[in-house]
Structure 1
Amino acid sequence: MDIKIDELNWKILNQLQGNARTSFADIGRAIGLTAPAVAERVKKMEDAGVLMGYTAMVSHALTGHQLKAMVTLRAFMGKLKPFLATVDAFDEVVNCYRITGNENIVMEVVLKDQFHLEKFIDKLIQYGETRTNIVLSHIIKNAPIYKVKSI
């Protein structure tokens, strides 16, 4: 199903990315539509695959994972496909991207401490060379995955 993402749909998407639990009535008040009109537009965007789901944001620090890092992997010859087939099994990985450049993969990982990081890197070295950057702070708080706006 094709759908046109007009200015109102962009506004709805921005509202939902700010808080996916916002009621249709609240969204409608913010953008000048009725709650049923918002609900209809949201349903159409869900059916078309524009809205792919709703998630909960978890404080990893409060769950005992005090360390966050960005880990890149430069895969050894013949090891990229095996890595791609197993990366889902690594509980530490919260985001993983295949990228261009010298490295093949960049992962956002959460870990309990430096010892956990060491064990995680030990699991990765069979696939290639790693480079780790420890995250010191989160600059953009509560940012949506994608900042959507009309172009």
Structure 2
Amino acid sequence: MQFKNLDEIDREILKYLSENGRLSNAELGRLVNLTRAAVRERIHQLVEHGIIDRFTIVVNPLKAGKLLSIYFNINVEWSKINLIAQQLANTEEITNIYQMSGQPHLHVHALFDDQEHANRYIQELQEIDGITNVESEFLIARYKERGALLI
């Protein structure tokens, strides 16, 4: 992915860090032909400018026991969209919440232990005041996933 506000070296640093965030500054320096100090300064600048938002890990949900990945389109009343989004954000099953264009609805991703767990959660969604409709689809296969980039 090309970023307009970055030079080639910064793009390379981001690429390598997104593939392996545990790379040392010395290892990164060897990969991009810079000194360890120059890499450290570039990473510092990327953090200062908010391009690197945070350093984190990517957990494989299947290996961690979350066997079911479901995407929801949740139609809501306009006046309650923020309240509902906050309420959903406070549940451990939800991983991502996006307000979408068009009719008032939220696009939500959640992880569940199994079908029974998902069924209980869907019933809980139906009881939330302001939700007018819930559509769900479960994930069958992942072909490309970028866990290190917020879109």
TM bucket normalised to smaller: 0.7 to 0.9
Q: Which runs of 5+ in 1 are unaligned?
A: none
Q: Residues 66 and 113 of structure 2 are in contact (CA less than 8 Å); yes or no, is this contact kept in structure 1? A: yes
Query: Retained in 2: the 8 A contact 1:73–1:105?
Result: yes
Residue in 1 that maps onto 2:106:
105
Secondary structure of the corresponding residue to residue 101 of structure 1 = coil
Q: How does 1:21-32 map to 2 (within 5 A)?
A: 21-32=22-33
Provide structure 2 residue ranges, at least 5 long, that are not aligned to the other structure.
Answer: none
Equivalent residue letter for 2:41: E
Partner of 1:124: 125
Q: TM-score, normalised by structure 2?
A: 0.84
TM-score, length of structure 1 as denominator length: 0.84
1:25 is displaced (CA, Å) by 1.5
1:146 aligns with: 149
Give 1:46 shift.
Answer: 1.1
Deviations 1:10-61 (A, max 9, x none): 1111111111111112211111111111011001111222111111111222
Letter in 2 for 1:145: A
Aligned residue in 1 for 2:140: 136
Alpha-carbon contact 2:58-2:147 (below 8 Å) kept: no
Shift in alpha-carbon separation, 1:131–1:12, aligned structure 2, 3 A:
same
Q: How many percent identity over aligned positions?
A: 22
SS in 2 for 1:30: helix
Tell me whether 1:55 sits opposite 2:56 in the alignment: yes
> Measured at CA, do residues 10 and 64 of structure 1 come closer, stay the same or move farther in structure 2, by a change above 3 Å?
same
Runs of 4+ in 1 over 4 A off after TM superposition: none
Report the counterpart of residue 10 of structure 1 in structure 2.
Answer: 11
Query: What is the CA-CA distance between 1:77 and the residue it aligns to?
Result: 4.7
Alignment RMSD (CA, Å):
1.9
1:95 aligns with 2:96: yes
Q: Deviations over 1:72-112 (max 9, x none)?
A: 11113533122022122111111111111346211111001
